[in-house]
Amino acid sequence: METKLVYKDRFEKNAYSLIELGTPELLAAFESGNSIVIKGLAEDEAVLCTDTKTFMVRQVNTSNSIILTERDDLEAQHKVQDNLSHTIELLPCLARTSRLDELLGHSCYSGEENEEAIKASQTMYRLEDLLTVVQASKSELLKGLDKRGAFVHEDYYRLFEKDYLLQLFDYLLTNSIINGIDIKMITLGEAKQCIKEGSSEEKVDIPDDLLVSAINVFLTRVDHQDKEHELIEFDRAKICRFMGEWMLSNPRSKRWELGDFTRLWSTMCHELFTPELQDIDGLYLMYETIKLSNTVQYLQYFPVSELSTDPPQRFAALFSEKPLWTLAEIQPFLVDLAPTKKEQEHLLLKFARSHRSKNITSYGSRIK
| pLDDT, averaged across the chain | 90
240 CA to centre of own chain:
18
- The whole-model pTM stands at 0.84
Residue 236 is inside which H or E element, if any?
Answer: helix 236-248
Q: What is the pLDDT of residues 346-355, one digit of tens each?
A: 999 999 999 8
Burial 195-222 (b: 16+ CB within 10 A, else e): bbbbbeeeeeebeeebbbbbbbbbbeeb
The pLDDT tens digits of the residues spanning 65-95 come to 888 888 877 777 888 888 888 889 998 888 9
Q: Which residue has the higher pLDDT, 14 or 278?
A: 278
The pLDDT tens digits of the residues spanning 32-49 come to 877 789 998 888 888 999
DSSP 8-state symbol, 18? P
Q: Which fold has domain 309-368?
A: Arc Repressor Mutant, subunit A (1.10.10)
Which ranges constitute the DSSP H helices of 14-160?
24-31, 99-105, 115-121, 127-133, 138-147
38-42, 127-131, 155-159: lowest mean pLDDT where?
38-42
4-93 fold: Immunoglobulin-like (2.60.40)
Give the tens place of pLDDT for each residue, 188-235. 999 999 999 998 877 778 889 999 999 999 999 776 566 888 899 999
| DSSP character at residue 221 | S
Domain ranges of the chain: 4-93, 99-158, 162-232, 251-306, 309-368
Question: Taking the chain, what is the end-to-end CA distance rounded to the nearest angstrom?
Answer: 66
